A = this chain, B = another copy of it.
Amino acid sequence: MNNPQSSLPHVVIVGGGFGGLYAAKSLRNSPVKVTLIDKRNFHLFQPLLYQVATGSLSPADIASPLRVVLSKQKNAQVLLDKVVDIDSAAKKLIVQDGEDVNYDMLIIATGGSHHYFGNDQWQEDAPGLKTVEDALEMRRRIFTAFEAAEKEPDLAKRQALLTFVVVGGGPTGVELAGAIAEIAHKTVVEDFRDVDTTKAKVLLFEGMDRILPPYPETLSAKAQESLEKLGVEIKTKTLVTDISNQTVTFREGDKADTISANTILWAAGVKASFIGRVLNKTTGAELDRAGRVIVEPDLSIKGHPDIFVVGDLANFPHQGERPLPGVAPVAMQEGEYVAKLITKKLQGKTIKPFHYFDLGSMAVVGQNKAVADLGFAKMSGFFAWFIWVVAHIYYLIEFDNKLVVMIQWAWNYITLGRGARLITGKTALYAKTEVPNEAKENKVDKLQERELVKS
């Protein structure tokens, strides 16, 4: 690469999510050459992905091309490729399509994907929500269900078509369930002639004794109240034991039961990226049970002060009882910290261990309600939602002026509309789907896994 700065230390960042991108941006004034590698050409604003899945926003509304974000940052370049292996002794990365990439310092920020806890066969029936393709597949299933119900003369089948099960009562599950209930009971009511969409059932399953388990109890209760008002039926202490043939088998407390549901959405588990296992192989880095890399207080890997892990792939156990949660603010702060550490290190200085400054947690429940725990204050209802909107707009426009999203939101808010409810990507109207991208990707992961085991 004919880069005039090639004599500078080369910082390679893998993954253009919140962790990787904040690291890259924070290195803008440092005397380094930065290469950001991602297999996608855009940064995805994942906290809003559920709005794509439920037809409020388009993928481009919440995605910023990485090259545009880093266009003006002259010490940075973007490489569209997939890292398949790391050689920490030779300090280089092996990528899928191009030549090997040498690094002086490495920041790994590859996050994670869905976790079916050993039941990967559930994926076809119950897709998760991590990628743009996942969101479009969810959108296709949700809106196709109403179309199929409109034509279905058999009452039991019609009810199954109008039954939506969301597995997992964390923020994503809560936001999905609330949005689907609103679609069924408000948005599309006037659009169908033969089917009464207000009869749709939306169920939210959670294994713990309340939804939003990491939140304060009062907020869990508020969220539950809001969701129930929207018509969501919440089942806590409920574990899914099987998903097949559009039927969910579950255990609610001691009671086993089944429900027929055409649309089953998975928001329950997150699995660390396979790069965790690559790091384990090449550096001996310790992994936790979810496959996350247990990092040092400065986010480096033990014995490898030139390799850092940030974001959802990192298990940072040095603060509080549990590792830091896999949320955007943690990833951002970790990315910024590592950039600062590298900059100081090049000046021969050291900095204090990483400390996460908790800005709080929020989740939307319905069109204009949310729950928010800001540490100093807990709130719910419209005001919490307003804070949610302001915070999300602030971060959304940081990389890329997504002015249009605000206008789209304002418009949706006024009209209760969902202009992006297109059913795309499949010819068959409601054929069972293969979730082609994820499936392929998992195949790649499995192959790599096998290779790792072999090597």
Contacts and interface: CB of A to CB of B under 8 A. Distances in A.
Most buried by B among A96, A133, A421: A421
A151 to B, nearest CB: 4
Interface stretch (A54-62, A119-127, A207-215): A54-62
A45 interface: no
A33 to B, nearest CB: 10
Contacts of A441: 427
A420 interface: yes
Interface stretch (A73-81, A251-259, A283-291, A381-389): A73-81
A413 interface: no
Contacts of A419: 60, 64-65, 68, 400, 402, 404
A222 interface: no
Interface string A400-431: 11111001100100010101111111110110
A89 B132 CA distance: 47
B71 A191 contact: yes
Most buried by B among A64, A79, A402, A444: A79
Nearest to A65: B421
Contact of A71 (B96, B153, B190, B411): B190
A423 B427 CA distance: 21
Interface residues of A, number: 68
Most buried by B among A60, A98, A424: A60
Contact of A429 (B39, B63, B193): B39
A422 B42 contact: yes
A347 to B, nearest CB: 26
Interface string A228-267: 0000000000000000000000000000000000000000
Contacts of A97: 148, 151, 429-430
A151 B422 contact: no
A3 interface: yes
A441 B79 CA distance: 35
A419 to B, nearest CB: 6
A92 interface: no
Most buried by B among A147, A148, A411, A430: A147
Contacts of A96: 429
A179 to B, nearest CB: 16
Given A1-B194, A42-B422, A425-B133, A151 B437 contact: no
Nearest to A191: B67
A424 B407 CA distance: 25
B411 A1 contact: no
A82 interface: yes
Most buried by B among A42, A59, A419, A429: A419
Contact of A411 (B67, B193, B403): B403
Contacts of A39: 427, 429
Given A60-B422, A424-B59, A3 B411 contact: no
A440 B422 contact: no
A143 interface: yes
A107 B82 CA distance: 51
Given A80-B429, A147-B41, A132 B191 contact: no
A117 interface: no
Interface in A93-128: 96-99
Nearest to A188: B67
Contacts of A133: 424-425
Interface string A147-166: 11011010000000000000
A57 to B, nearest CB: 8
Given A42-B422, A71-B191, 10 more contacts: A39-B429, A40-B423, A41-B143, A58-B60, A60-B420, A78-B191, A82-B429, A403-B407, A425-B425, A427-B440
Interface of A: 1-3, 39-42, 58-61, 63-65, 67-68, 71-72, 77-82, 96-99, 132-133, 143-144, 147-148, 150-151, 153, 188, 190-194, 400-404, 407-408, 411, 415, 417, 419-427, 429-430, 437, 440-441, 444
